[in-house]
Amino acid sequence: MDFASTVTGFAEPTIEYRPDQRWWLAEGLHTDATLRTEIAAMHRLGFGGIEFLAMDEEGVDHARYGWGAEEWVHDSQVVVEEATRRGMAVSFTSGTNWANANLPTITPESPAAAKELNVTVEEVAGGATRTGALRRVDLAAFSPSVLGHRGAVSEQTFVAVVAARVLGTTELGNVLDVDSVVDLTADVVDETLDWTAPEGDWRLYAHWMHGTGQTASPSARVNYTVNYLDRDGVDAVIDYWEHEVLTPQLRAQIAANPRAQMYMDSMELTAYGEGGMFWGRTVAEEFRARRGYDITPWLPFLTRRVAMMASQTIYRNEPDAAHAGAVEKVRFDYVATLTDLYIENMLRPFAAFLHHHGMTLRAEISYGLPFELTRPGPEVDGIETESLEFGAQIDAYRLMAGPAHLFGKQYSSETGATTRNYMLDHRFYDQIIATQLAAGITRTVLHGWASPAGARETTRWPGHEGMWPEFSERFDTRQPGAEFYPWWTTALARCQFLLRQGRPRIDVGILRTDHFTDNVSGMRFVDDDGTRVADEVAYGTWWMRNRQNHWWADLGMQDAGWTYEFFDGSLLLRDDVRFADGVVQPDGPGYQALIVYQDALDADVARRLLGWARVGLRVLLVDGSRELVELQTRRYRTHGAAAARTHGLDGRDDELTATIAELVALPSVARVGDPADTVAALRRLGVTGRAEFVEDNRSVLTHLREDGDLLHLYAYHFLYDTGEPVDMDVTLPGSGLVHRLDAWSGTTRPHAGVRVGRADAAGDRTVVTLRLHPGETALLTLDRSADAAASEPAELEWVADLPTWDVTVESWDAGPDETITEDRGLGYVSEEVRPTTTVTVIELGPTTLRPWHALPGVGGEVSGIAEYTATVRIDDAQPGQTFVLDLRRARFGTHQRRHTGGRRHVASGRPHHRAARGGEHRHRARGQLAQQTAPGAWVLRHPARRPGQLRGLGGAAHAADARPRPWPPRPGAAGPGTYLSGRRRLRLAVGSARGARARGGRATRAGRRRRWRRLRPTP
């Protein structure tokens, strides 16, 4: 795409670039009128797609309204029809609610139902003989799981029995003598065994397969989770959708919608028994075929306990020290086999079925289960992550960026879920989005939307919750800030448009294999003494915002401005991955180098690295790296020598050692003993970051896209709660004209602060000067088809203060409920209630700009919208000048920009610092609409949260000694951006007492005056 087309597409992004919504329906209770009203509202507020699912609604007849009932099928048809009519994307879930694929047509005993391998244990003394029936599993006794309810399970099938001599005890079981293990399965007749134990203390492990019995609701019948490992599971899902769901009418709507998808959310599968092993009728056979040995003698070492997610796995039995390495390899082979079966027996056939019907497959692959995290990536059309489980941590989003970028998959996120509903301000979510954009996530699905209308028994003001009162946020019409969503969603659409153009340019790929990724690092926060820490504190000040990344701990590459991401090395073996032009996957991320740091590496992957290194691939082996295992228990793993052994029990360790010896002897390969030496070693190999910082910077993340002659750079100051403004220089390959793109106004202008820097081996480099304030984002495009134009950064000049504001508050409170009924001629009438909101206007008159709770006549119990008005007169204003209002320390909710009567209006965002260089705008506000309604008059319209939320201005927002609480960015999704004309050379900003002191001005502790300042025109 050329630059002119980019500018056009950026200014008016089409609907596919807009953020989506997850919509929690009150089962099939909603009336057709409600469904159409909600979809119209989503469309009006700027959302581009709907992912809808059924949620339990108390007081509702599930047989009539649950998933699979006629009412649900009818409502699904209405949703798809209305979304398609408006050009919106639509996504189904693969069963009721979100947690997994589930069906009402199976029972736990069906081959298509999820299976587990359970175990019973007998103690047998040395020399003693046991006879008779093996102990069966008590199917009525099971451990509850937070991941799903368990229905009745009635059948179990004998699989194997193994005996082992006990050497000691573990937390959950025993230390076993591996050499003593004996497989007694062949001696079992009709589930009976006669066996005499040799000398010592023995345990007899009898293994039984049975259905997990995991259910899902709401449903017109009982839905059971399907089998993800045997082909029976996906075949049952396909059969149900083919014959029950995809009616002729629905097929027609899907055919008319080019963005119809199936969405598979986090795989919340559980095994309830003591064995804790996911299983299926083909698992043992497939294990032998793929790994070359029998799994049976190793089963006692595979049984486990897991509280919720795979990262919390604790094995019940451990081996003697001499065999610890062998058992670790067997455990790898088991989970690698599970991953194979998940790919081949679920994802691949399901995607093929969906493609046949004009749909694509988007999925949160692997995490939560003992499946390799990135290997399934090529099998789906869209790879999704989520903020609930990974917080706002860049390393967490790098985890799956590798397969997304290697194979050109849409990388998306379910964003907004927390445990603090209605309590967090808008910047909290904007900063998550800003972090995700830096990792290459370019599709945001807000979590989420619920209609205010719901069942009478459970619906209270401000409305039906959908995803329960404690989970997620509601980005819907109940929010006072919803009136500003069209500007917010358009700004985010512009970011997503630009960052989908061309191909990603990632400097370094890191080989990382993990079947037990910790995916609860963003869910609950406690300090060392177990005290609960608020989400906003942890997100804003912990881990990556405190110099700690989870998986690649050394921050040297990040500080240098280099980008990197992770993927399993086996992906390099695919035919559609290549090394050419000195990079891996030149039409994708174009990794300049690969890093190997884990102590295990597949022997075939090592051979692939060797082959590519012989023709120029740069490879760095890093010894002594440390990475996260489980955050909640503070468990980490430190690797010794990189690539010292293979993963599995394949007998190829010596082969790997020989391959690595050849590899490190090549001139394009290096090895270091300390991760801190990574950058220096890569530089010696010839690596230069494509968007490298002239000097290291600890506050900024970038993401780069290349589209022909165009380079699109996204920059983000991620220390939004703890950082200081930064001035920095970023180098880009090539020379040309640099443009600044404003996501909030859609305008583009030449960037001021550009010079052509030193040439390197690849040619000229352009140096761009940026000034970023905490939480701020920037979008730049280097057009290398245009002649280069150097420019100097601009300087700010203070010109005026705004000490007094007129304030009007709209107080929102509960109004009367509306009753909505629907009679579809089926012999009953559906009823829902919709709470309404009563608005009371409070006129406060002139006041200082102060915290919401400190406003006289308002206080902390009021929520709604406030309007702040101030007037400034600037006698020497000249045509073409632009003035910027800076509310540096104000803390508001959402805000946007508008035009009225042909004038430009400035919307300010949360304490957000706009850079003041090269025609950039300086902006430090937080969530209100600043509207210039007359020459020199500014109106700030600000939404506060509902009662019980953080609302209004922060208590320390104006204190001269308070740390700024910056908020998103500009011009990103992360916050308000430039609302002023890009053609103007002068900028005006309002500073704070802190800013005045920096200029030698006098300021008091209570000095809450806002100062205007102007940028001196550049030459």
Q: Is 512 exposed, middle or buried (0-12, 13-18, 19+ CB in 10 A)?
A: buried
Angle between helices 70-85 and 248-256 (to 10 degrees): 20
pLDDT confidence bin for 800, thresholds 50/70/90 = confident
The mean per-residue pLDDT over the stretch 754-759 comes to 79
List C-alpha distances in Å: 223 to 22, 55, 147: 22, 13, 14
C-alpha closest to that of 838 among 861, 863, 872, 812: 812
Q: What is the DSSP letter of 935?
A: T
Higher pLDDT, 308 or 79: 79
Residue 166's pLDDT is 98
Contact between 688 and 583 under an 8 Å Cβ cutoff? The reply is no
Rounded CA gap, 758 and 734, in Å? 10
Token pair in block for residue 124: 């047998």
pLDDT of residue 757: 72
Q: Are 174 and 310 in contact (CB under 8 A)?
A: no
Q: What is the pLDDT of residue 42?
A: 98
65: Cα separation from own chain's centroid? 32
Phi, psi of 448 (to 5 degrees): -175, -145
Who has greater pLDDT, 874 or 71?
Answer: 71
Q: Provide mean pLDDT across the span 361-382.
A: 96
Residue 737: closest CA among 676, 816, 791:
791
**Residue 880: which pLDDT band, with cuts at 50, 70 and 90?**
low
DSSP letter assigned to residue 374: S
User: Binning pLDDT at 50, 70 and 90, where does residue 365 land?
Assistant: very high
What's the pLDDT score for residue 187?
A: 98
- Work out the average pLDDT over 779-784: 98
Of residues 929 and 694, more confidently modeled: 694
Say which range, 112-126, 714-728, 795-809, has the weakest mean pLDDT.
795-809
**Position 803 confidence tier, pLDDT thresholds 50, 70, 90:** confident
Q: Would the pLDDT of 963 be above 50?
A: no
Overall average pLDDT of the 333-352 stretch: 98
Q: What is the pLDDT of residue 837?
A: 94
Q: State the Cα–Cα distance between residues 940 and 808, nearest whole angstrom.
A: 10
pLDDT over threshold 80, residue 916: no
Question: Of the given ranges (246-255, 531-540, 812-821, 936-945), which has the lowest mean pLDDT?
Answer: 936-945
Distances (CA, A) of 911 to 295, 623, 957: 59, 42, 8
According to DSSP, the residues that pair with 850 across neighbouring strands are none
pLDDT at 1003 over 60: no
Q: Which pLDDT score, from 0 to 100, does residue 1001 have?
A: 26
pLDDT at 845: 87
| Residue 606 CB coordination number (10 Å) | 24
Question: Which range, of 68-77, 366-375, 829-838, 958-967, averages the lowest pLDDT?
Answer: 958-967
Which residue spans within 258-400 are E strands per DSSP? 260-264, 277-279, 304-305, 314-315, 318-319, 360-363, 382-386
The span from the CA of 517 to the CA of 628, in Å, is 9
852 residue type, one letter: W
CA torsion angle 33 35 39 44 (round to 10):
40
617-626 average pLDDT score: 98
Q: How confident is the model at residue 24 (pLDDT cuts 50, 70, 90)?
A: very high
Q: Are 88 and 47 in contact (CB under 8 A)?
A: yes
- Separation of CA 566 from chain center: 15
Burial class (CB in 10 A: 0-12, 13-18, 19+), 695: exposed
Percent of the chain residues topping a pLDDT of 90: 74
In sequence order, the β-bridge partners of residue 787 are none
R_g of the chain computed on alpha carbons: 30
| pLDDT for residue 58 | 87
Mean pLDDT of 121-137: 97
Q: Classify strands 710-717 and 726-733 as parallel, antiparallel or unpaired.
A: unpaired
- DSSP at 544: G
Instruction: Please answer whether residues 213 and 99 qualify as being in contact, where contact means their C-beta atoms are separated by less than 8 angstroms.
Output: no
Q: What is the SS3 assignment for 12-67?
A: CCCHHHCCEEEEEECCCCCCHHHHHHHHHHHHHCCCCEEEEEECCCCCCCHHHHCE
Mean pLDDT of the chain: 86
pLDDT at 19 over 80: yes
- Residue 29 scores a pLDDT above 60: yes
- Read off the pLDDT of each residue in 490-506 and give the average, rounded to a whole number: 98
Token couple for 744: 């909030």
3-class secondary structure, 139: coil
pLDDT of residue 412: 98
**Does the structure show a pLDDT above 60 at 951?**
no
Confidence of residue 621 (pLDDT cuts 50, 70, 90): very high
Q: Is residue 124 within 8 Å of 193, Cβ to Cβ?
A: no
Q: By the 8 A CB rule, do 51 and 445 touch?
A: yes
Give the C-alpha separation, 70 to 985, whole Å. Answer: 62
**Statement: residue 146 has pLDDT above 90:** no
Handedness of CA 73, 79, 83, 89 (dihedral sign): negative
223-225 vs 102-103, strand pairing mode: antiparallel
Position 879 confidence tier, pLDDT thresholds 50, 70, 90: confident
Quick one: pLDDT at residue 881? 67
Provide the pairing of β-strand 382-386 with 410-415: parallel
Half-sphere exposure of 777 (CA within 13 A, CB side): 35
8 Å CB contact between 35 and 79: yes
Kindly report which listed range (238-252, 262-276, 874-888) carries the lowest average pLDDT score: 874-888
β-sheet with 726-733: strand ranges across: 726-733, 765-772, 754-756
pLDDT range class, residue 948, cuts 50, 70, 90: very low
**Are 986 and 1014 contacting, i.e. CB atoms less than 8 angstroms apart?**
yes
Whether pTM exceeds 0.85: yes
Contact indicator for 407, 588 with CB cutoff of 8 Å: yes
Residue 1013: pLDDT above 50?
A: no
How sure is the predictor about 909, in pLDDT bands with cuts at 50, 70 and 90? Answer: very low
In this structure, what token pair is assigned to residue 519? 């995916």
Q: Is the pLDDT of residue 498 over 60?
A: yes
Query: In the 3-class helix/strand/coil scheme, how is 961-994 assigned residue by residue?
Result: CCCCCCCCCECCCCCCCCCCCCCCCECEEEECHH
- Tell me the DSSP string of 874-924: -TT--TTB------TT---S------BTTB----B-SS-----STT-----
Q: How far apart are CA 52 and CA 56, in angstroms?
A: 13
Q: Which of 774, 720, 734, 728 is nearest to 917 (CA)?
A: 728
Q: Say how far apart CA 132 and CA 134 lie, in whole Å.
A: 7
Q: Flag whether pLDDT at 967 surpasses 50.
A: no
Q: How far apart are alpha carbons 511 and 402 in whole angstroms?
A: 9
Most trustworthy range by pLDDT among 407-416, 844-853, 911-920:
407-416
What was the pLDDT predicted at 906?
A: 30
Q: Rounded to whole angstroms, what are the CA distances from 797 to 661, 814, 988? A: 62, 47, 8
DSSP track, 710-770: EEEEEEEE--TTT---EEEEEEEES--EEEEE-TTT--EEEPSSEEE---BTTB-EEEEEE
Higher pLDDT, 992 or 79: 79
Q: Find, among 481, 538, 545, the residue nearest to 975 by Cα.
A: 481
pLDDT at residue number 944:
52
Flag whether pLDDT at 141 surpasses 90: no
> If we measure between CA atoms, which residue out of 686, 878, 894 comes closest to residue 797?
878
| Euclidean distance between the first and the last CA atom of the chain, given in angstroms as a whole number | 32
Average pLDDT, integer, range 575-589:
98
Taking 90 as the threshold, does the pLDDT of residue 44 lie above it? yes
Residue 984, pLDDT > 50, answer no
Burial class (CB in 10 A: 0-12, 13-18, 19+), 87: middle
Residue 619 near residue 672, CB atoms below 8 Å: no
Query: What 3-state DSSP class applies to 777?
Result: strand
Is it the case that residue 223 has pLDDT exceeding 90? yes
CA atoms within 13 A on the CB side of 629: 13
Could you tell me if 778 and 916 are in contact, meaning their C-beta atoms sit under 8 angstroms apart? no
The length of the chain, given as a count of residues: 1019
> Is the pLDDT confidence value at 993 over 80?
no
Mean pLDDT of 845-857: 81
